[in-house]
Amino acid sequence: MRALLQRVGRASVCSEGSPCGAIQAGLLVFLGVAKEDGEEDAAFLARKTANLRIFEDENGKMNLSVKDIQGSALVVSQFTLYSDTSRGNRPSFEQAADPKSAEQLYRRYVELLRAEGLPVETGVFQTDMQVELLNEGPVTLLLESRKK
């Protein structure tokens, strides 16, 4: 699994033109699921997402987690995180999980983030979405469960 995290002052997502999720300070998480991913990958990434210290403390050091700042997470599925652009000009998505498996792990990741104590908003799986955000820093990090 891959989670592209963006530290945000606010973020929102609409699905097919209708608002479906919005947060203030916290993390916007674009989540991609690969064919070989399972429960352990979701658990690892949820734990890492909730506890990663990327928010500034009183001394301006990145020393606080999203839980420490009492922030929220907005999780948006994004199969394109598993694109392969090494050949030609059209991306291949062979590494991405099939929609049914991906949705199960996406939902499990969201459940696990909530179990960590985070308020979580989501997009709508497998729809056309529009995302707006105010990236703070900017801070953008890629987490991968296979690189634990």
Write down the catalytic residue from 30, 44, 55, 79: 79
Instruction: Answer yes or no: 122 catalytic.
Output: no
For CA atoms 110, 1, 28, 48, give the dihedral sign: positive
Write down the catalytic residue from 80, 93, 127, 130: 80
Instruction: Answer yes or no: 79 catalytic.
Output: yes
Write down the catalytic residue from 30, 44, 55, 78: 78
Instruction: Answer yes or no: 80 catalytic.
Output: yes
* Positions marked active-site: 78-80
